[in-house]
Amino acid sequence: MNKKIIFFAPNIEDGGLEKNIISLSNYFVSKNTNVEIVYSKISSKVKRKLDKKVSLSKSNIKLEIPIFNDRINNSIKCFLYILLKLKSDKFDKILSFQDHPFAICCSLIRKKKSIIRIANHPFGSLFFFNNKIKFIVKIFIKIFFYQFSNLIISNSKQSTRYFKKYIFNPKKCITIYNPIVLLNKSNTYKRDKNLIISVGRLEKQKNFENLIKAIRICNIKNNKIRLYIIGKGRERKNLQKLRNKYNLRKIIHFTGYKNPDEYYKKSGIFVLSSYFEGLPNVLIEAINYGLPIISSDCFSGPREILKNNKYGSLYKVGDYKDLANKIIIANRNYYNFSKKIKLAKKDLKRFSFNLQCKKYLDTINAL
């Protein structure tokens, strides 16, 4: 029997990273590769979407260190679980999705090979929410530990180029895109150009505050514009307060977490307002449905996906006035704006599910 690949994923919620865990797990077991996901917390929705052949192991280590938050405590639990509970002859590689230093240390202690999957651009993910000293310390910790991994897989070329500057062996830094199941090319949908959607966790990273401020400006120019924000998260109350402050209750709607497919089909414009990303699945999904896109030009992914404004419209990160202007122009010239997404859809093969999943499996097996 083939040895298992351990997926190190301590905190599995609902989002883009989780979609990739599901895609890769299910693909690997379909190709007779054993997968065991080690976790501390997992969404019931994710659990239901996993193939029954995928092994799930919840860390049963009882540990709560007061100085650390839940996320770090969960990672420590998974770290200890792999060290103390898993038999060494049952697995030979660890594929890490989160908190990579813990997975790398596991692999070094257990003398296994480690592969880390980078979900967000390392600079962007630390720059916006840390002071200068914390930023330097955290980026140093990342780069230091990553030197000891066997393979670094980034989901954008921009992230890969960043790592190649600092990793002693740049050959182990590669790019593999997020896998997406492509829709039938002939699918077309009736769109409402005044309906705008955005999809993502309600966290500071996604900068929905910026989007709400932009919609406030747009509403003055066109009172028919409406925004639906699809997702859940810790910032919901703060975002609702901001919406209410601007008297936009009838304009901006929070749907909570739900399948966004129906919104992709009927909306006129998709907006990504993030401070940083890795390779945002939601942009690829929007293209898949032929939904025109406006995105922040953040580290990393949007410029790569939209081919330098060829397939959509990019605006300066954090500039809500620029975003509002882009939305107004797109709304007024919707026919011409929509032409970009038709070009984008023709180039979707680079993200196809089988192609990217195969790259993952072949690359990992070659180690």
- Name the 3-class secondary structure at 176: coil
Contact 101, 108 (CB under 8 A): no
Cβ contacts of 325 within 8 Å, gap of 6 or more:
315
Give the pLDDT confidence score for residue 1 in this predicted structure: 47
Give the pLDDT confidence score for residue 184 in this predicted structure: 73
Stretches in the chain below the pLDDT threshold 50: 1
Structure tokens at 45: 């929705």
- DSSP at 234: T
Give the pLDDT confidence score for residue 72 in this predicted structure: 94
Domains along the sequence of the chain with CATH: 4-179+352-365 (3.40.50.2000), 192-350 (3.40.50.2000)
Give the pLDDT confidence score for residue 129 in this predicted structure: 82
Give kind and range of the element (H or E) at residue 254: strand 252-256
C-alpha span between 227 and 250 (Å, rounded): 9
Query: What size, in residues, is the chain?
Result: 367
C-alpha span between 353 and 162 (Å, rounded): 25
Give the pLDDT confidence score for residue 16 in this predicted structure: 84
**pTM, 2 dp:** 0.91
